[in-house]
Amino acid sequence: MTHDAIAVIDFGGQYAHLIATKVRRLHVLAEIRQPDDPIERFAAYKGIILSGSPSLSSHGEDSDYTRAIYDLDTPILGFCFGHQEIAKHYGGTVVHGGREWGPADLHLRGESPVFQGLAPVERVWMSHFDSVTSVGPDFDEIGFTSLGDGGQPHRFAAIASERLRRYGFQFHPEVDDTVHGDEMIGNFVLGICGCRPSWTMEQYIAEEMERVRRQVGDQSVFLLASGGVDSTVAARLLGEALGPDRLHLLHVDNGLMRKDESRDVLQTFREFGLDRNLHFVDASEDFLEALRGVVEPEQKRKIIGNTFISVFEREARTLGIAHHLLGQGTIYPDTIETGGTKRADTIKTHHNRVPIIEEMIAQGRVVEPLAELYKVEVRELGEKMGLAHDLVWRHPFPGPGLGVRLLCGTGAAFTEGLDGIEPEATAVGAAYGLAAQVLPIKSVGVKADLRSYEHPVLVSGDAPWARLLEMAARLFKQVPGINRAIWNLADAAPRAVRPLAATVTRDRLDLLREADHLVMEGLRRHGIYGEIWQCPTVLVPLEVDGRGREYVIIRPIHSERAMTATPAALPARLLGELREQILALSGVSGLALDITTKPPGTIEWE
């Protein structure tokens, strides 16, 4: 190795590659290793980090790994599942219980170098079922957590053996919501491991361009260019690596785009010189026909992905370039959430990871220059390659478009088990002076690296923003079967909410397009578009108190890498404008603001 390096052992958790990214931000090379890699693979690393895992129990299959790493004279740091494994290996106890989701206060104990320069109390991010309840004789407790509510603390949230140079955090320092997580990782990588910061993004660009040239050889690439940040940066890198004559761009209007999106995308490519071989096709009828009558979210995603490939192959034949390689702006969250690593749980299938794409990848027919990067790295890469700031920093938009923001259903209510959780949710809301109603619908979420499909809670009443978020956190912690909370922006708590049968139709998409347009224009009008990382607008087929058919939910969030997110507050004046505008749209039954962190709720509802 020409650089000092850290091995990140990927137990399949949502954040394994995010850990590697955070190490690389310190200009230290990080490489992903599998748990069953032979011990020889670890000999050259200056340190080892153990990731989290989707396993519900640290006593499951993920406990079968190369334990000889503990015999190395190499510092080891474990997060979540990795923390529990370190505790167990050295004589500690792990139990199934003490779950925590979202923010918590870490109270530091002692003077461990891994916490050098930090405050006595640090805000950290939790997502776990299992907990460490005791440690072996070589270890000390160097931190415990609390929610600041006077309740019992969660012990052994951070442990250390300075003699062995072994450290464990129950929380996730790699996510941006752990306020000084970067410093914790830096203390381990640069301090305890003694790594020299010699790895840079410029080197990554050079190495990736060389990798693309080797893969493509003398062929050409046909890139599906949505106009989003990822595909545009991918287009720029491929153009630089291969030359503009060997790169064809295809923009497909799938009928699931935002208002006037295709027109704006084509203009953007022209303005930035990416139109040498730019092709456009309106395939909205293809997609709408393929989605006719479909309601199940995963099925919708797979249909959208397969239809993209059908359109791609048809257009490639028409253009006489059917033997080109397929280019995609895939970034790492697309892969990890689809279960793309050995132990990762499938949170949701992304359109660029459907089976037909996986087959093409196995055949070497797919070129993905951004597949190891997160959104913030893609943006950094785009700026280094000269793309305009406004283009690089536009809000992310999912590949399946509005197809994953237009919820569908059979009209059947999800009521099984509601009797058991409704009283608990109501009691939590009442403690904050708010009404909390468990809705008879479900949305996708992620808990402890596992996919969840659970109920949202509708919260009605006035409260300061911080109190709303505190109440939501309490709901997620105390009430099982809940993975989302939404704040009612209508006048009063509804008396009756009824799911309706609905599928993907042009009329429903047009209504969603208009509501989304009002939200986006509102963010720009109030000068906060750049402050918010993403703001999906979601349409849910719900009748409220006998009126309307479509319930609109706005989800503004703060994030950097899409692996975690926190809800963003909107100005009261903007909320008032959106309430007036959206509730006036024909067929709208209500309006709410999503106040859910990720985890336990994913950014998109499907």
How big is the CA angle at 397 (ends 393 and 403), to the nearest 5 degrees?
170
CA separation for the pair 532, 519 (Å, rounded): 12
DSSP E strands in 23-171: the ranges are: 29-33, 47-50, 76-79, 93-108, 121-134, 140-146, 154-161, 166-169
> Is residue 324 flagged as an active site residue?
no
Phi, psi values for residue 458, rounded to 5° = -90, 125
- Contact between 220 and 242 under an 8 Å Cβ cutoff? The reply is yes
For 521, what's the count of Cα atoms within 13 Å in the CB-facing half-sphere? 13
Q: Which long-range contacts (CB under 8 A, 24 or more apart) does 215-220 make?
A: 215/325, 215/364, 215/367, 216/241, 216/242, 216/246, 216/325, 216/367, 219/246, 219/323, 219/324, 219/325, 220/245, 220/246, 220/247, 220/248, 220/321, 220/324, 220/325
Tokens of 379: 């943006």
Euclidean distance between CA atoms 321 and 309, whole angstroms: 14
Separation of alpha carbons 552 and 581, rounded Å: 12
Q: Which of 100, 174, 337, 604 is catalytic?
A: 174
Backbone torsions φ then ψ of 483, nearest 5 degrees: -135, 10
Residue among 80, 193, 195, 408 flagged as catalytic: 80
Which residue in 497, 485, 424, 423 sits closest to 454, CA to CA? 485
SS3 state of residue 565: strand
Please give the C-alpha separations between residue 556 and each of 294, 462, 465, 541, 576, in angstroms, as whole numbers: 27, 19, 13, 20, 15
Nearest to 375 by CA among 558, 516, 124, 555: 558
Report the sign of the C-alpha dihedral through residues 123, 124, 125, 129, in that order.
negative
Select which of 172, 180, 351, 455 is catalytic: 172
Active site residue 80: yes
Which residues are the active-site residues? Answer: 80, 172, 174
